[in-house]
Chain A
């Protein structure tokens, strides 16, 4: 691919030229989301359960654990993603062997999304009325049974709604990661659309990202609605 000639030749691009660039980039974006999201959920949801239950009204109150966890999450959330990406480059190299491409983006993206995802899950769990959990306790449930049979199932519609938000946040993150060498639609939009004034490319990338976000939002909403029984 001619790195320098494209600026002038952009008007001559055919549909296939675009497809040739967009399809792999879409694949890279989906790969990033597909790897980062499950890891984030797998870590974030249990963290939220710990966070809420070590709290004052939780099932196993533990002030110091709660506070440490809370501070770590707040610190994690307050670091701008772009800075975090640069800061964890050594860690990325250590874990995945590179700081570039999809693999390189996975570590910072996961690190960035876990804190906010944890808070999202926590706020959904908090919506379960206290007397419902207490009734479960008085019904003879052990703590683990209360988490598994009362807290999580009761919070499920909210958890799904907020997972939708978390997923879209990760999609946003992949676009930002594109700015620092991660590839994907974000990279395409920036390097072709912005740096090389290819408005068509910019539009294509934005439209695809919007469609993805809308798709996630609509299916999340529909699922949450179906799960809600009140």
Chain B
């Protein structure tokens, strides 16, 4: 079975001649079924263009995208219907009720009226807005509108759900509930979800894989859990260096760990193997799918070789911080 999404050497230029802007400079990747992939990157990195190529809003200059084995360049309307897109903010029609907004793709596809209404109602129930079908977008909160947008994106039973900055601009509670809904959808419907976001936290909270774009190229890719345990930009973005205490007469180390692999009392056990206990200078720990992942800044009289030897077998990633570093 082919991967759900395959992108092959995708290039997109805007404009022509010397003023030409390259938004995507040959991007290739594939996305497996029923996974959540976050495409992250700063603004101007090309992630938006990539999203717009995937949902056919932008025609690539060259390269190929296929969804479930079907080339996007052919049969465009049918292929567009294989991808449900959730947009940033409210892209709902103001003059259609929530129910009729969800009905729109079904009307486009020519689904029988009563069947379409039943389907739209079922989708509103799924996103937890079963009772608000008669409300206009102006009467809904930001989070509720986004849920209607999700229901609309699901109307034609797409195989891929593309969320383009879908949580940007939502407050914390609304964002959490939208993310929870996406997680549930993946579990219940086996959807393949692509999240385009500049918010690393969003990627951390729900994605399995990440793809980091910069200046139109992929600079990092892989399972998020692997990336946070390596020296990676994804990790640096998720765990930005923060100020910590200083211990001028000792070596200072940054130790990365993931709690599922590392004994929870690793600080105590590592201290036992060293001449003096470790001093904790700072720490950042975040939850990654139920697992504590993060780093500690510690000070020790032990040199790099000694501490690496002592920490061997704990699955820690130890790096000495120079005085110039951080």
| Given A139-B155, A141-B108: A150 touches B57 (CB 8 Å cut-off) | no
Decide if B136 touches A230 in the complex (CB within 8 Å).
Answer: yes
Q: Does B93 contact A (CB under 8 A)?
A: yes
- Assuming A149-B107, A229-B136, A230-B138, is B83 touching A138 (CB within 8 A)? yes
Q: Judge whether A132 and B91 touch: CB under 8 Å.
A: yes
Q: Select from chain B the residue with minimum beta-carbon distance to A140.
A: B81
Can you list, as one digit per residue, whether each of A135-147 has a CB less than 8 Å from chain B (1) or not (0)? 1111111100100
**Known contacts A135-B85, A150-B93; A140/B80 CB under 8 A:** yes
What residue in chain B is nearest A227 (Cβ atoms)? B95
Q: Contact check, A145 vs B136: say whether CB atoms are below 8 A apart.
A: no
Given contact pairs A137-B57, A138-B80, A138-B83, A154 touches B108 in the complex (Cβ within 8 A): no
- Whole-angstrom distance between the alpha carbons of A138 and B84 in the complex? 7
Tell me if B83 and A229 are in contact (CB < 8 A): no
Instruction: Flag B87-113 by CB within 8 Å of A: 1 or 0 each.
Output: 111011111100000001101110000
Q: Does B7 contact A (CB under 8 A)?
A: no
Docked complex Cα distance between A131 and B94 (Å):
12
- Shortest C-beta distance, B186 to chain A (Å), equals 20
Count of inter-chain pairs, beta carbons less than 8 A = 78
Instruction: Give Cα A230–Cα B92 distance, bound, in whole angstroms.
Output: 12
Are B92 and A132 closer than 8 Å at their CB atoms? yes
A12 and B107 CA atoms in complex are apart in Å by 68
Q: What total of chain A residues lie within 8 Å of the partner, measured CB to CB?
A: 23
Give the nearest-CB partner of B107 in chain A.
A149
Distance in angstroms from B204 CB to nearest chain A CB is: 27
In the complex with contacts A135-B87, A229-B94, A140-B108 CB distance below 8 A: yes
Determine whether B198 belongs to the interface, using a CB cutoff of 8 Å to chain A. no
Kindly state the separation between the CA atoms of A42 and B173 in the bound complex, as whole angstroms.
Answer: 49
Question: Which residues of A193-230 are within 8 A (CB) of B?
Answer: 227-230
User: Does B21 sit within 8 A of A, measured CB to CB?
Assistant: no
Shortest distance between the CB of A60 and any CB in chain B (Å)? 13
Would you call A136 and B77 a contact (CB within 8 A)? Answer: no
Please name 5 pairs of A and B residues whose Cβ atoms are closer than 8 Å in the assembled complex, sorted by A: A138-B84, A139-B104, A149-B107, A154-B94, A229-B137
Other than A132-B93, A138-B87, give 9 A-B pairs with Cβ distance below 8 A: A134-B87, A136-B104, A137-B56, A137-B80, A139-B85, A139-B104, A139-B108, A140-B77, A229-B138
4 interchain residue pairs of minimum CB distance: A135-B91, A139-B105, A140-B81, A138-B85
